[in-house]
Structure 1
Amino acid sequence: MTTSKITKNYDFIDTMRFIAMIGIVMEHSSPFLGLKLITLHDQIIQTVSLQFIKFGTIVFFILAGFLIGDKFNEYTTKQYLGRRLHTTFRPWIFWVSVLIVLFYIDQSVRYFKGSEVLGFSHPLEYILNRLHFIIVETSFWFIINFMICISILLVFRKYMYNIAFGAILSVLSLFYSVNLYFHWLPTGHTTALVGFVFYLWLGVILHKYFAEFQNWVNKQSFLLISLTLLLTFVISCVETINLIQLGSNDSGNTLRFSNIIFSLVSFVFLYKYCNFSLIEKLKPRSMTFGIHLLHHILIIIFLPMILGPLHIVYATQSVWNLFFLQFAVFALIYAATYALVYYIGKSKKWKWTVGQ
């Protein structure tokens, strides 16, 4: 495979990451997220609304693995990790710090209004609680997990192209799929520290055999890929409903086996049919990381300031109101985040904070 051929196809990475990020922001801002709905009808609407955007995380890991495969010949393991820490972890620390400051501003307002607040009465307990919340329950988990996954992959670098190594990683991922039913470990996908290494490895393998992948995809018809995507989507919804009926607290887990397959088929579909030139005008390469870092801050801190005065309480809304709210809230959060990242990126002093 020639260098020019690989470079030409880097456009698909930017486009797919941008689309995947749209799905991730919509999921995180969805009013359905975390709600316990009672009737089967409502559960179906909730499941469908969340499932069609559930491919983003696995797609992100595959694309990151593809880029790792590209850089293997340019950097040593130490150089690569050092570069990642500088370009990825430093902005992460900055925005985590910003979020902590915002939490303390909120605590201060409550305190001066006369409320008893944990941030002042038990500051160490509060800061540890907030750090746990940020790392485990928000989108900031991704960078920590991502760095752990990269480190694991690079530690076993000499086995990188070994199929047996990939098989072991796939078993580790599937363990979390089975764990949803047996609860041997906490089920949250944010705590699945080794569950996503396989998808990084898959991206590395994709880079090595990219010409073969292209040839295979080009032979597949739109009808076949679309029907497979629809089938895996339906199966993913069925598994989610089944987990809800079983009383699972994590029925929409990313590492459900059905969602893994759905995400892989989504990857093929996005690669072949969603390389839109319009997306390139939105500068996906320079915007996506910043959107990832900032969007959950807006959801956690600023969205309640908008919904409160409007007296919008998700738990009291009908399922169809929630359905339409999902798209309205997403549009608001995404547009605001995009604007913030865009203007921060124009600052020579601060553009590093959004990965530019």
Structure 2
Amino acid sequence: MELVEKKEKKNFDFVDTIRCISMIGIVFEHCAAGGTGLYRSSFFDTVVETSVIQSFKFSTIAFFLIGGFLINHKFQEYTAGQYLKNRFRSTIKPWLFWLLIYVALMVLDRYVAYLRGGDDVLATNFFGYVWDRFVFGIFYTSSWFVLNFLICICILLLFKRYLYSWGLGVSLALLSLIYSLNIYHQWFLSTHSTALFGFVFYLWLGVMLNRYFEVVMSSIRKTSWFVLISVVVLLFALAIAESFALVQMESKDAYNTLRITNVLYSFGMFALLLKIGALDFLQRNFEPRKTTFGIYLVHFVVVVRLLPLIFQPLKLDLEAYSVWQNTGIHILRFFIVYGVSFLMVRLIQKTRFKWIIGN
């Protein structure tokens, strides 16, 4: 019994480590200083910019893999109704709270503008503006992935009887591949909000990782550090090359998470993180199991409303700056957003309102 308990704890430590690193990467990605493709006139600057953006592009897929890993046993312990009831109670309420906070802050911003003689949208179309911001917050901000994640879970529950079927996995992989090819062919909009079924495969793959965890870990342990790191570096370079090619094609989605090379890079990074295992200093200082979801909920509001208050008065001309200056601004924005979000989550945890961060 003691050995089993130690083994389970080790698994959860590894989960928390990857969850923490993935959330850092997701926040970093959302703190980009400017739009993509600023440096098309310079090959070197484009490569540098692409490398910075690509570095953490594994985070979203890694998060879905971890999500699948965690829900495997829950699917077996609870009925579909029980699981969804518990999941929606702990997820939808806090998600909706921060979505409404975002809308309220946007309304406040327009009200201040109105008092200063700016646009009068609140006076002429108040409910229309509120609805527009609500829809925008759901589908065109990072909050979309909370709803997307729940939809992916519901899809797996619909096929719970075939959950461990490789046929189901192949079908879901083909769906994801369609989104990967669509980046080039534009059969439909390639924005993240349209990728409704593009991430179910990675959730399913996480379920299978849990089922065959010892087999997977045995293979990873046998793989040398040199080989694994070399593979990750190669996949990183291929992902950069694909983004660079898409930039040259003037693609509006050159850094899409579902690019085939990025999917492979994400798998490589995930394998590397599995080999690294649990990092105690992350557990002690960041408490990812308690803070990760809260940081995700809070950070998009901080990005949308706090960062403009800090940076707009500075009137930064990002297109005139060097790639190094913009990278520095990107990193500064990340530290502000992650630091403020983490601090807010820790403070909220000490109050009776901790339900708003999923605790």
Normalised by the size of structure 2, how large is the TM-score? 0.95
Whether the 8 Å contact between 2:107 and 2:130 is mirrored in structure 1 is no
Q: Distance in 1 between matches of 2:147 and 2:10?
A: 31
Given residue 205 of structure 2, which amino acid in structure 1 is its aligned partner?
A: L
Q: Distance in 2 between matches of 1:144 and 1:28?
A: 18
Q: Distance in 1 between matches of 2:136 and 2:53?
A: 22
Cα deviation, residue 329, structure 1? 1.3
Structure 1 segments unaligned to the other structure (5+ residues): none
CA deviation string 1:239-267 (max 9, x = no partner): 00101111210000000000000001111
Structure 1, 121-130 or 291-300: larger mean CA deviation: 121-130
Q: Are positions 1:179 and 2:177 aligned together? A: no
User: What is the aligned partner in structure 2 of residue 213 from structure 1?
Assistant: 216
SS at match of 1:309: helix
User: What is the aligned partner in structure 1 of residue 324 from structure 2?
Assistant: 320
Given residue 69 of structure 1, which amino acid in structure 2 is its aligned partner?
A: N
User: What is the aligned partner in structure 2 of residue 103 from structure 1?
Assistant: 106
Whether the 8 Å contact between 2:98 and 2:297 is mirrored in structure 1 is yes
Change in CA separation of 1:154 and 1:90 when aligned onto 2, cut-off 3 Å: same
Normalised by the size of structure 1, how large is the TM-score? 0.96
Percent of aligned pairs sharing the same letter? 38
Cα deviation, residue 138, structure 1? 1.4
User: What is the aligned partner in structure 2 of residue 194 from structure 1?
Assistant: 197
Q: Are positions 1:235 and 2:238 aligned together? A: yes
Whether the 8 Å contact between 1:35 and 1:315 is mirrored in structure 2 is no
1:299 to 295, 303, 310: 303
Q: Distance in 2 between matches of 1:45 and 1:190?
A: 27
CA deviation string 1:149-180 (max 9, x = no partner): 00001001001000001000000001000001
User: What is the aligned partner in structure 1 of residue 27 from structure 2?
Assistant: 25
User: What is the aligned partner in structure 2 of residue 277 from structure 1?
Assistant: 280
Whether the 8 Å contact between 2:22 and 2:60 is mirrored in structure 1 is yes
Change in CA separation of 1:352 and 1:104 when aligned onto 2, cut-off 3 Å: same
CA deviation string 1:23-77 (max 9, x = no partner): 1111101114445433223221211110011011000000000111021221111
CA deviation string 1:276-317 (max 9, x = no partner): 110011211101001100111111101111112333243332
User: What is the aligned partner in structure 1 of residue 314 from structure 2?
Assistant: 310
SS at match of 2:97: helix
Cα deviation, residue 274, structure 1? 5.2
After superposition, the CA RMSD in angstroms is: 1.5
Cα deviation, residue 8, structure 1? 2.6
Q: Are positions 1:12 and 2:2 aligned together? A: no
User: What is the aligned partner in structure 2 of residue 340 from structure 1?
Assistant: 344
Structure 2 segments unaligned to the other structure (5+ residues): none
Cα deviation, residue 125, structure 1? 2.8
Q: Are positions 1:161 and 2:161 aligned together? A: no
Whether the 8 Å contact between 1:55 and 1:263 is mirrored in structure 2 is yes
